[in-house]
Structures are given as structure tokens and as C-alpha cells.
Amino acid sequence: MTAAEVWTAGVPLPGLVERAAVRAEAAGFDGFAVVDSQNLAGDAYVGLALAARATERIGLGTAVTNPVTRHPAVTAAAAAALQLACDGRFVLGIGRGDSALAHLGRAPATVALFDRYLTALQAYLRGESIAFEELVFHESVAPTIESLALASAPESSRLHWMTPTTPKVPVEVAATGERVITTAARLADRVMLAVGADPQRVHWGVETARRAQAATAIEAGVPIGAFVNVVAHRDVDVARTLVSGGLSTFARFAVMHGTPSGPVDATQREVLGHVRGTYDMTRHTQIGSPQASVLTPEFIDRFAIVGPPDRCVRRLAELVDLGLDKLVVTGPTLGADPTEARAALECFASEVLPTLRA
């Protein structure tokens, strides 16, 4: 098995995020990422700044931000500032948006907007200037600068405070459907698949990204990673329960707009339909939610990785061998039994993670 980075995830609540990042670093994880969902958790960038001060080695990132709640110049400025604050350990994870937008009464951004946003974001992070007419994001709600009749004014937009020595922030795009995977392969520094842990689906995602790279003549090839729901526990039934809240969220990504993306069999298609039809955003990622309750053991065993440590290692190694170089592992979520959740996290850190490093 080729070595891959292994990251874990958490929430950016001050007081909690520092301790979580320190634990992740001590356990040997390569990185610690936080969600960016302003109505459900604290501010991602504040949380990561606190985590940066509390850690020395571990990578830090967003998992994930979105192209709606912040202007690309604001996102780029926060990302570049964090990159300086943590000595080059920051990675900007971004997707089309989900719970952050749902709590504003909005659906995920269109692929077209996402494409434009990524283009502008990468330009800012490279220190480039962007013509005002190429923006048309949040700034468009205000009058143009010409209305002020200034003697002199900026002629384009860039981050003036960045220096040529400021490390470029890597941009990783979370992608589930073919169109977003293709966009990510063209514009991102890494494609992060969010297609579940079924090897057939991961293989499809990897091949989709590689075809897109070939079509755009990207010589080196963009690295490919994946978000994976994993719970290591010797009682597989307990593991299935612990993983169900987070898995229901990732399962919904595969059927968000009605038609499943990627390869699914008839049974998986039926479960995905139930997830979409029962999804309660007020109980997002929660164990015991309506969407978690419709997940069958068979579905969980394919779309997630659950059970004893040796099984988890074997399944994760299989995914890495498909061409992944990074895994962001999400384990027990809201509503989990605290004792069982703690046991599962300790089991992964002590028995799964070291074996992946071997």
C-alpha cells in the first residue's frame, strides 16, 4: 500500500478546537480539519487560528468552506493569513456548500458559480490581480467606485499585503458528481472525493478525475483524496450506529438532486432515495435522525468502513491502492454514546492509524 495522508475532522468551537487539534497531533494524524457552517459551529478561521497556536506539526484545514458565505477575496485573505500563522500548514478545503447554506434558506451553489469562484480564489492566492468586471460576487450589491469621483482608485483587485514569499495555500475541492469532479480536476490543487467508501464508486471517482485531467492536458496530474466515514470498533453493530449520522450526510451528497451520481446498484439506489426523502437538515449528521435510521447494515458496510481494526485497515488500504493520497476520516458524530465514541476513536488512533503508517 502506498502511503497516504490521514486527517481527522472536528468543529471550530473555541475551547474545544484547541484540545481536539492537540489530541489529533499527539495521536499521529497528518492533519486536522474543521467544518465551516456558521449556524451550527463557531467560525472556522478563528478556530483554526486557535488550533495553529496550540499545535506544531499537524496540518490544518477547512472541511469544507463554500463559495457563497464569503467573497473570494475574503476567503483568500483568511486562508493566506492562516498560512502565515501556522508556518505553511494550512489547506483550504471547499465545496459547493450544504448546511451553511441551508441555514440561510439556500441550496448549494451552481457548478457554474463554483467554477468562477474557484478561478478567482486561485488567482488571489497566487498573488494575481483580477479585473473588477471578472468578479461580480458579493461586491455587486454596492454601487461602483466611480460614484465616489475619487482622484485615484484601485483599477483591479488583488491581495496587496501578500508578498512573493507567502506560501501558496493549496485548494482542495470536495466533489461527488461528475461535473464537480471535472471542475476540481481542472482548477484545484487536489480533488477530494466525497463518494463514500465503496471501492467501485471510489474507482469511478478517480477515473473521472483522471479523464478530466487528461482532457485539459494537466501533465503532472492533480492528486486525489477522499472523505471516508470510518468507525473502528470490535462490535460491528455498535460501529454501524456510531457512523450512521455522518454517513447519512455523505450519502445524501450522492443523491442530493434526485438522481444518484456514480455507480450504484438497485439496493443502494433505494436506500439513497430514502435518505433524500427523509433528510431532516435540523438534525444534520445526527445519529438517530430520520435519515440515519433508513441506512441498512448492508448499505453502511459498503458506503462506510466499520468494524474491527483489521477490517478497517484492509478497507482503507484498498481505497489507497485505487490512487488516493489523502484520507479525511470522519467517525462518530452528534448523538453518539460518549463512552462508545471515545472507545472507537481510541481504537482507530492506536490500532488502525499506526498500521496505515507501517
Q: Which of 255, 232, 216 is nearest to 306 (CA)?
A: 232
Identify the pLDDT of residue 239: 98
Q: Is the dihedral of CA 229, 65, 106, 14 positive or negative?
A: positive
Rounded to the nearest integer, the mean pLDDT of the chain is 96
Provide the phi-psi class of 105: left if phi over 0, else alpha when psi is between -120 and 50, else beta.
left
**pLDDT bucket at 318, cuts 50 / 70 / 90:** very high
**Whole-model pTM?**
0.97
The share of the chain scoring above pLDDT 70, in percent, equals 98
**pLDDT bucket at 218, cuts 50 / 70 / 90:** low
The share of the chain scoring above pLDDT 90, in percent, equals 94
Residue at 96: amino acid letter: R
Identify the pLDDT of residue 166: 86
CA separation, residue 153 to residues 132, 150, 156, 336 (Å): 12, 6, 9, 55
| Residue 190 host element (H or E) | strand 190-193
Q: Which domains does the chain have, with CATH numbers?
A: 5-230+320-357 (3.20.20.30)
Does the pLDDT value for residue 358 go beyond 80?
Answer: no
Identify the pLDDT of residue 182: 96
Encode 259-321 in three state secondary structure.
CCCCCCCHHHHHHHHHHHHHCCHHHCCCCCCHHHHCCCHHHHHHHCEEECHHHHHHHHHHHHC
Identify the pLDDT of residue 220: 67
First CA to last CA distance, the chain = 9
Over residues 65-85, the pLDDT tens digits come to 999 999 999 999 999 999 999
Does the pLDDT value for residue 88 go beyond 80?
Answer: yes
Does the pLDDT value for residue 219 go beyond 80?
Answer: no
Average pLDDT (238-244) is 98
Average pLDDT (16-45) is 97
**pLDDT bucket at 177, cuts 50 / 70 / 90:** very high
Identify the pLDDT of residue 1: 58
Residue at 7: amino acid letter: W
Q: For cell 444534520, what's the residue?
A: 284
